[in-house]
């Protein structure tokens, strides 16, 4: 039986849709959000439709490792058995967090990495961990030096894709190190949300031309919802209506081990 699912970024388009879909099924949800007012509005909307929903809100800013630690400390052992790493961002410019991490990498990779590591011992050995990745992962290569891009290395989409590729690598290495865990990847396709506005003057034009052909948030989140119900312990790639074996291009155990070690080194600095 599912105890409680953490959804990061539950104020976002797909996060809120996931929250509502789980609440509708009677699954308790812990919304892990940086903006509490926005989270309360999402929760209140869901409660108006599902009055019996069990939804809690707690502060989590993935651009602050102190916030990640504080959040993890607030979780009681045995109170959570699934994490949906849904929060994600595409930074418009090169910026470092107070921890010295590039912001896109902090949100999409280091925050989820640290959160999972801190919560593992508080969750059952067959806990579910689902990470939202992206088709952009297939267009980039990754090495351990990419975890901390310099300003010269940075580009909006390049850093986003590499941070998601790192999350994918982390998920597969996590599954190797913890064979009982149910770790899976979800790819929502291209979804009409604010995330894909890159701050260009022509965004309204591309929105007009492009967004009608994108998935809705409710549709985009379906692969993740199916991944959250998965019972198998070998990771799968949920996309569209299917659940594929992990594509060969992502089967890079040596790289995954190096990325893991590199991450530990960065986070212990």
Ligand X SMILES: NC(=O)c1ccc[n+]([C@@H]2O[C@H](COP(=O)([O-])OP(=O)(O)OC[C@H]3O[C@@H](n4cnc5c(N)ncnc54)[C@H](OP(=O)(O)O)[C@@H]3O)[C@@H](O)[C@H]2O)c1
Contacts to ligand X by CB under 6 A: 8-9, 11-15, 34-35, 38, 60-63, 86-89, 107, 132, 134, 188, 190-191, 193-196, 217
Q: Among 50, 71, 66, which Cα is nearest to 6's?
A: 71
Q: Which is nearer to ligand X, 190 or 230 (CB)?
A: 190
Compare residues 126 and 210 and give the one whose CB is closer to ligand X. 210
The DSSP element (H or E) to which 13 belongs, if any, is helix 13-24
Closest approach, Cβ 200 to ligand X, in A, equals: 16
**How many CA within 13 A on the CB side of residue 49?**
14
The residue among 86, 108, 87 whose CA lies nearest residue 97 is: 108
Give the pairing type, strands 242-245 and 236-239: antiparallel
| Residue of 161, 184, 160 lying closest to 172 (CA atoms) | 184
Q: How far is the CB of 166 from ligand X (least distance, A)?
A: 13
**Closest separation between CB of residue 255 and ligand X, Å?**
21
- Closest distance to ligand X from the beta carbon of 256 (Å): 20
Residue with Cβ nearer ligand X (244 or 261)? 244
Give the strand pairing for 236-239 and 182-187: parallel
Specify the residue, 98 or 143, whose C-beta has the smaller distance to ligand X. 98
Q: Which is nearer to ligand X, 152 or 249 (CB)?
A: 249
Q: 81: Cβ–Cβ under 8 A, 6 or more apart, which residues?
A: 2, 3, 4, 5, 123, 124, 127, 128
Cβ nearer to ligand X, comparing 99 with 257:
99
CB nearest ligand X: which residue? 12
Rounded Cα distance, 145 and 57, in Å: 35
Rounded Cα distance, 23 and 51, in Å:
10
Q: How many Å apart are CA 97 and CA 212, to the nearest integer?
A: 35
CA distances from 179 to 9, 121, 151, 238 (A): 27, 14, 38, 19
Q: How far is the CB of 174 from ligand X (least distance, A)?
A: 17
- Closer to ligand X by CB, 88 or 235: give it: 88
Q: What is the CA radius of gyration of the chain?
A: 17
């Amino acid at each position: 039986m599912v105890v409680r699912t953490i959804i990061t970024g539950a104020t976002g388009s797909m996060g809120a849709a996931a929250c509502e879909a789980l609440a509708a099924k009677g699954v308790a949800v812990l919304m892990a959000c940086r903006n509490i007012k926005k989270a309360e509005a999402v929760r209140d909307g869901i409660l108006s439709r599902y009055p019996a929903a069990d939804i809690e809100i707690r502060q989590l800013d993935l651009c602050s490792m102190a916030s990640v630690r504080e959040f993890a400390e607030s979780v009681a052992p045995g109170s959570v058995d699934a994490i949906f790493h849904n929060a994600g961002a595409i930074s418009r410019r090169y910026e470092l967090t107070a921890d010295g991490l590039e912001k896109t990498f902090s949100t999409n990779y280091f925050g989820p990495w640290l959160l999972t590591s801190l919560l593992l011992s508080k969750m059952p050995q067959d806990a579910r961990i689902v990470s939202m990745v992206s088709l952009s992962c297939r267009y980039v290569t990754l090495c351990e030096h990419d975890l901390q891009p310099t300003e010269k290395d940075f580009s909006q989409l390049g850093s986003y894709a590499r941070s998601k590729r790192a999350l994918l690598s982390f998920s597969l290495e996590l599954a190797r190190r913890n064979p009982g865990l149910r770790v899976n990847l979800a790819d929502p396709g291209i979804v009409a949300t604010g995330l894909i506005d890159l701050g260009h003057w022509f965004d309204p034009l591309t929105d007009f031309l492009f967004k009608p052909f994108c998935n809705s948030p409710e549709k985009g989140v379906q692969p993740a919802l199916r991944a959250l119900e998965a019972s198998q312990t070998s990771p799968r790639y949920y996309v569209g209506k299917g659940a594929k074996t992990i594509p060969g291009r992502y089967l890079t155990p040596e790289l995954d081990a190096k990325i893991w070690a590199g991450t530990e080194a960065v986070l212990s600095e």
